[in-house]
Amino acid sequence: MTTSQQPVPAPGDGALPLDLIHGERREIATLAAELAVGAPALVDDPRWVARARGLSCRLPERAREALRRYRHDPGPDGILILRNLPVDETVLPPTPNEPDSVERAATVPAAVAVLVTLQLGEIAAYRDEKSGALVQNVVPVPGREESQSNAGSIPLELHIENAFHPRRPDYVGLLCLRSDHSGTGGTLVSSIRRTLPLLSAETVEVLSGERFTTSPPPSFHGSGATAPHAVLVGDPADPDVKVDFHATHPHDEAAKFALERLRTAFLEAATVLTLRPGEMAFVDNRIAIHGRTAYAPRYDGRDRWLHRTFVHVDHRRTRPYRPGDGSVLL
């Protein structure tokens, strides 16, 4: 049990986690329990999301402060980690293992993920991915071991989430319900803020040109590839990055070489987050990139299990693409 309160980490501290203390964990457990039982107990029901939004304002002050600071400045790593959230592994059902698994029922862990997500911004999902569910299960699926998706268990290439999509998420949230058996399977993370100093001026120039095309990931149904785009966009001193090393295609030899240089630099600067139950990581999907190390699923109900959520900072910006003013984007 954590008993003393550390200060809320400042963005300059990098990916320093915020360890919630016992009392804070209890407060969040109370909110999540309230949200999980009240009708309608369905995550994707707009009335449930509205209740969750209201209750999220009652999260402990230090959690809200960490989220607010992170939204203002995601730091050099673009990562925020909250630890000691109320996830009780002993009362979880078996880890699901069907394809495109999602969490429709308002369970306590789903409520925790959504409460925290809604203090960072607006929860979002995509109609053509995992049936538009707001809380998605990241679990290994038998027969999909080799797939470049979160159902696989071979190494997953570094990627910006839905890099091909014109309204990709601003943040990706990953709440751990169960670690893998060995406790070593992890989310690989790296950021362009760490990587930019490792690149030559020439490589940066090539990456800043519209010399790349990106295809949708395997989890997406019914969408096409992008128009030619740059990999580095925005202020040259602090750019956003848009790349998926499995799905971004260079148009020429120089673009291919620059992409390889970028990948090497990301790997050099990468760290592995081996999330434990009750730990939630956010990845700033504008400046940070993520993937996954390999691990060995057993399909015995005890496999690695994360809840994934997406966040947009500005709901209004996506209004034309959200039918009925809901949370699901076309």
Ligand X SMILES: O=C(O)CCC(=O)C(=O)O
Pick from 148, 150, 191, 214 the residue near ligand X by CB under 6 A.
150
Q: Which amino acid is at 257?
A: F
Query: What's the CA gap between 58 and 2, in Å, rounded?
Result: 21
Report the residue number, 62 or 290, with the smaller CB distance to ligand X: 290
Query: What's the CA gap between 188 and 289, in Å, rounded?
Result: 8
Q: What is the per-residue binding string for ligand X in 63-102, x denoting contact by CB under 6 A?
A: ----------------------------------------
Report the residue number, 155 or 228, with the smaller CB distance to ligand X: 155
Report the residue number, 58 or 246, with the smaller CB distance to ligand X: 246
The closest alpha carbon to 329, from 167, 138, 181, 102, belongs to 167
What minimum distance in Å lies between the beta carbon of 186 and ligand X? 7
Binding status of residue 187 toward ligand X by CB under 6 A: yes
Segment 242 to 271, residues that bind ligand X, using CB under 6 A: none
Report the residue number, 154 or 204, with the smaller CB distance to ligand X: 154
Which of Fe ion, ligand X, none does 138 bind, CB closer than 5 to 8 A by kind?
A: ligand X
Which of ligand X, Fe ion, none does 292 bind, CB closer than 5 to 8 A by kind?
A: ligand X
Single out the segment in contact with Fe ion by CB under 5 A; choices: 58-66, 87-95, 156-164, 198-206.
Answer: 156-164
Binding status of residue 292 toward ligand X by CB under 6 A: yes
Binding status of residue 139 toward ligand X by CB under 6 A: no
Binding status of residue 138 toward ligand X by CB under 6 A: yes
Pick from 51, 71, 290, 307 the residue near ligand X by CB under 6 A.
290
Q: Which amino acid is at 115?
A: L
The closest alpha carbon to 176, from 86, 115, 71, belongs to 86
Locus of tokens 């880890």: 95
CA-to-CA separations, 42 to 111, 121, 223, 302, in angstroms, rounded: 10, 20, 28, 25
Binding status of residue 148 toward ligand X by CB under 6 A: no
Binding status of residue 122 toward ligand X by CB under 6 A: no
The closest alpha carbon to 197, from 158, 236, 141, 162, belongs to 236
The closest alpha carbon to 220, from 136, 104, 295, 285, belongs to 136
The closest alpha carbon to 169, from 322, 320, 309, 323, belongs to 309
Pick from 168, 308, 312, 322 the residue near ligand X by CB under 6 A.
308
**Does residue 37 contact residue 102 with C-beta atoms inside 8 Å?**
no
DSSP secondary structure of 12-61: GG-S--EE--HHHHHHHHHHHHHHHHSSS-BTTSHHHHHHHHHHHTTS-H
Report the residue number, 103 or 161, with the smaller CB distance to ligand X: 161
Report the residue number, 171 or 212, with the smaller CB distance to ligand X: 171
Single out the segment in contact with Fe ion by CB under 5 A; choices: 83-91, 157-165, 203-211, 228-236.
Answer: 157-165
Segment 156 to 185, residues that bind ligand X, using CB under 6 A: 156, 161, 172
Q: Which amino acid is at 121?
A: G
**Does residue 178 contact residue 89 with C-beta atoms inside 8 Å?**
yes
The footprint of ligand X (CB under 6 A) covers: 138, 150, 156, 161, 172, 187, 290, 292, 308
The footprint of Fe ion (CB under 5 A) covers: 161
